[in-house]
């Protein structure tokens, strides 16, 4: 975990750090796979094509105001995500044709990073306040 933090140049969010203390990755198939620390990286470097596709310009996503952006849970509009953040997200896993990402641009006072799930069939990103919230949601829906 320390090597990953040194490589990305940032301290990882607490819930993701806790996960990495328990397991270095999870799963090995395309249905659900959280990457090993040596495979985790910035989306712009680890999967540049996806980074380019999802960060492409869309007028309605470049200036989403905080009162719309910082809504989580069932009231969230998945189209309300900030495409300009996409290249700077940390790729941590793949499942169901999508990717699991951590967004260092949006952090809680506890140091959690916003977590995203992006898939081609979503109109945007499914966003969560933390890695823990993303993982709990995925476990409930599977």
Give 15-55 pLDDT, tens digit per residue: 999 999 988 877 765 567 899 999 999 999 999 998 998 88
Identify the pLDDT of residue 93. 93
CA 10 to chain centre: 15
Secondary structure of residue 45 in the 3-state scheme: helix
The stretch 111-137 carries a mean pLDDT of 93
Kindly report the number of other CB atoms within 10 A of residue 125's CB atom. Answer: 28
Instruction: Give the model's pLDDT for residue 58.
Output: 57
Query: Tell me: the pLDDT tens digits for 53-68?
Result: 888 765 444 568 889 8
Q: In 3-state terms, the chain is what percent helix, strand and coil (to 5)? A: 40, 25, 40
- Coil, strand or helix: which one is 42? strand
For residue 142, what pLDDT is reported? 53
Q: How confident is the model at residue 104 (pLDDT cuts 50, 70, 90)?
A: very high
What 3-state class would DSSP assign to 100? strand
So what's the pLDDT on residue 31?
A: 67
For residue 126, the cross-strand partners are 117
Residue with tokens 């969560």: 128
pLDDT at 2: 85
Kindly report the average pLDDT of the chain as a whole number: 88
Give domain limits for the chain.
Answer: 2-141
For 51-90, letters b (16+ CB in 10 Å) and e give beebbeeeeebeebeeeebeeeeeebeeebbbbebbbebb
Residue 109 confidence (pLDDT) above 90: yes
């Amino acid at each position: 975990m320390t090597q990953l933090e040194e490589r990305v140049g940032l301290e990882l969010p607490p819930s993701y750090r806790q996960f990495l203390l328990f397991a270095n990755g999870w799963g090995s198939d395309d249905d659900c796979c959280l990457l090993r620390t040596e495979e985790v990286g910035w989306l712009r470097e680890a999967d540049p094509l996806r980074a380019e596709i999802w960060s492409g310009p869309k007028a309605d996503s470049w200036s989403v105001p905080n009162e719309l952006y910082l809504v989580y849970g069932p009231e969230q509009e998945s189209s309300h995500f900030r495409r300009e953040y996409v290249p700077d997200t940390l790729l941590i896993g793949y499942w169901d044709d999508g990717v699991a990402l951590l967004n260092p641009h949006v952090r809680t006072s506890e140091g959690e990073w916003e977590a995203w799930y992006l898939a081609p069939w979503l109109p945007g990103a499914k966003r969560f306040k933390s890695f823990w919230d993303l993982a709990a949601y995925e476990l409930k829906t599977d």
